[in-house]
């Protein structure tokens, strides 16, 4: 496991975790190094053939040293912005159904002693996924709707991101939740949120490809994930072994295609939600 993928700075829960972010946009994958980049290093987001190094303080010297040691890497650009600018605005508490979701630096009540037993603390770090996206809203609503129908004992959350949906399942009472994300920094952030909510006995977070875990036995699979991955998931044998499914993260044309593909299998779409004609989410059952 690469030490460059680990942040070392603690979070002060009385304020946002970082005043400013210094982001270095690098072409290429960074090889493991023997020592952490610096105490100001937050994490490395890898996507396609690019790496995004996050620091809480200017770190051009550290990045330059890294580039010299790994000459196959190229610095494409660098940015400086506030933590809230990175997330597109202030992260504030919000409610979806019975779930009350709050960043740890905004919480007013301790877990288990407040107005809602379904309170969730969510620290997104530098990972996208504060819970405000329409697809996340829809997944939370549908997950609670399933729970009203029958008790769900096991959940497979593919493309877990910050871990919000896995946390919601556990808060509802699910005893076994398996959360998977292909991005290491996302999986690490999800794990941090599991610990933050004291749900380690119910949720296991894993860094890996969603397709590799589709056969994991679970009552319901939740996949708020890229369309290309979604196509492979619903074509797998493991998909038909789940009783329920929630599929989200789909644009209009993608949703039409996924609906057609589902029509070829012994499954039933029980509800479809969309926001502004753009984002679509399916809730269904397997016959």
198-236 residue pLDDT tens: 999 999 999 999 999 999 999 999 999 999 999 999 999
Q: What are the φ/ψ torsions at residue 150 (nearest 5 degrees)?
A: -165, 160
Of 91-95, 165-169, 190-194, the one with minimum mean pLDDT is 91-95
Q: With beta carbons less than 8 A apart as the criterion, state whether 54 and 21 touch.
A: yes
pLDDT on residue 37: 83
Confidence of residue 124 (pLDDT cuts 50, 70, 90): very high
pLDDT on residue 11: 41
- Determine the average pLDDT of the residues in 131-143: 93
Res. 187: pLDDT tops 90:
yes
Confidence of residue 2 (pLDDT cuts 50, 70, 90): very low
For the domain covering 132-286, report its CATH number: 3.40.50.150
For 94: left if phi > 0, alpha if psi spans -120 to 50, otherwise beta; the answer is beta
Res. 170: pLDDT tops 70:
yes
Residues in the chain: 287
pLDDT on residue 108: 60
pLDDT on residue 115: 55
Rounded to whole angstroms, the Cα distance separating 244 from 273 reads 16
What are the extents of the domains in the chain? 3-86, 132-286
pLDDT on residue 61: 95
Identify the CA nearest to 131 among candidates 141, 117, 116.
141
Res. 87: pLDDT tops 70:
yes
**What's the predicted TM-score (pTM) here?**
0.89
Q: With beta carbons less than 8 A apart as the criterion, state whether 125 and 17 touch.
A: yes
Summary mean pLDDT of the chain: 90
Confidence of residue 38 (pLDDT cuts 50, 70, 90): confident
User: Number of C-alpha atoms within 13 angstroms, CB side, residue 237?
Assistant: 1
The 10s digit of each residue's pLDDT in 46-68 is: 988 999 999 999 999 999 999 99
Beta bridge partners of 176: 154
């Amino acid at each position: 496991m690469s030490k460059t993928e680990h942040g070392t700075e603690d979070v002060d829960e009385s304020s946002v975790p970082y005043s400013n972010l210094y982001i270095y946009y690098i072409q290429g994958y960074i090889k493991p190094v023997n020592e952490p980049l610096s105490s100001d290093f937050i994490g490395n987001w890898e996507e396609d053939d690019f790496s995004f190094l996050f620091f809480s303080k200017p770190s051009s010297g550290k990045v330059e040293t890294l580039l010299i040691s790994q000459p196959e890497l190229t610095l494409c650009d660098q940015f400086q912005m506030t933590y809230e600018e990175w997330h597109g605005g202030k992260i504030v508490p919000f409610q979806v159904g019975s779930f009350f979701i709050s960043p740890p630096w905004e919480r007013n009540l301790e877990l288990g002693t407040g107005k809602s037993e379904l309170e969730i603390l969510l620290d997104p770090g530098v990972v996208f996924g504060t819970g405000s996206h329409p697809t996340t809203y829809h997944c939370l609503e549908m997950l609670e709707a399933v729970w009203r129908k029958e008790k769900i004992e096991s959940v497979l959350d593919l493309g877990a991101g910050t871990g919000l949906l896995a946390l919601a399942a556990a808060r509802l009472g699910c005893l076994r939740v398996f959360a998977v994300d292909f991005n290491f920094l996302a999986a690490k952030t999800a794990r941090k949120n599991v610990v933050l909510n004291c749900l380690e006995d119910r949720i296991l977070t894993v860094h890996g490809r969603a397709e590799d875990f589709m056969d994991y036995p679970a009552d319901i699979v939740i996949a708020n994930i890229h369309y290309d991955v979604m196509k492979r998931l619903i074509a797998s044998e493991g998909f038909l072994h789940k009783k329920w499914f929630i599929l989200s993260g789909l644009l209009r044309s993608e949703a039409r295609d996924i609906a057609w593909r589902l029509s070829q299998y012994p499954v039933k779409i029980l509800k479809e939600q969309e926001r502004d004609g753009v984002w679509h989410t399916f809730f269904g059952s397997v016959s």
